[in-house]
Amino acid sequence: MTLQTKGILFAIISAIAYGTNPLGALMLYSEGLNVNSVIFYRFSFAVITLLCFMLFRKISFKISLKELSILLFLGFLFGVSALSLFNSFLYMDAGLASTILFTYPIFVAIIMALFFKEKNSTITILSIIFAFLGVVLLYKGDGANISSFGVFLVFISSLCYAIYIVIINQYLKMEALKVTFYSMLFCTLTIFIHSFFKESSNIMPLVNFNMWFYTLFLALIPTIISLLLLVKSIQIIGSTSASILGALEPLTAVIIGVLIFGEKISFALIIGIFLILFGVFLIVLKDYLEKIFKIRG
Residue 279: the pLDDT is 81
Higher pLDDT, 190 or 266: 190
Percent of the chain scoring above 70 in pLDDT: 95
DSSP annotation string for 165-176 = HHHHHHH--S-H
Q: How far apart are CA 49 and CA 224, in angstroms?
A: 8
Residue 64: the pLDDT is 92
216-241 burial, b for 16+ CB within 10 Å, e for fewer?
Answer: bbbbbbbbbbbbbbbbbbbbbbbbbb
- Least confident stretch, 84-88, 158-162, 209-213, 274-278: 274-278
Q: What's the pLDDT band for 99 if we cut at 50, 70, 90? A: confident
pLDDT tens figures, 6-27: 988 999 999 899 889 899 999 9
* Residues 156 and 104: beta-carbon distance below 8 Å: no
Q: How far apart are CA 145 and CA 127, in angstroms?
A: 28
Q: What is the mean pLDDT of residues 76-83?
A: 94
Residue 142: the pLDDT is 61
Residue 141: the pLDDT is 62
Residue 296: the pLDDT is 52
Q: DSSP letter at 220?
A: I
Higher pLDDT, 264 or 11: 11
pLDDT tens figures, 127-143: 888 888 887 786 666 65
Q: Where are the alpha helices (DSSP H) in the chain?
A: 3-18, 21-30, 35-56, 65-88, 94-100, 104-116, 122-139, 148-171, 176-194, 209-219, 226-237, 239-245, 248-261, 267-284, 286-293
* Residues 251 and 278: beta-carbon distance below 8 Å: no
Q: What is the pTM of this model?
A: 0.82
Residue 295: the pLDDT is 56
Q: From residue 182, how far is each of 21, 157, 170, 231, 235 by CA, in Å?
A: 21, 20, 17, 13, 17
pLDDT tens figures, 50-75: 899 899 988 899 999 999 999 999 99
Give the closest residue to 184 by CA, choosing from 97, 74, 68.
Answer: 74
Q: How far apart are CA 248 and CA 13, in angstroms?
A: 9
- Least confident stretch, 112-121, 156-165, 189-198, 220-229: 112-121
Higher pLDDT, 138 or 233: 233
Q: Which residues contact 242 (CB under 8 A, 6 or more apart)?
A: 7, 11, 14, 165, 230, 233, 234
* Residues 258 and 95: beta-carbon distance below 8 Å: yes
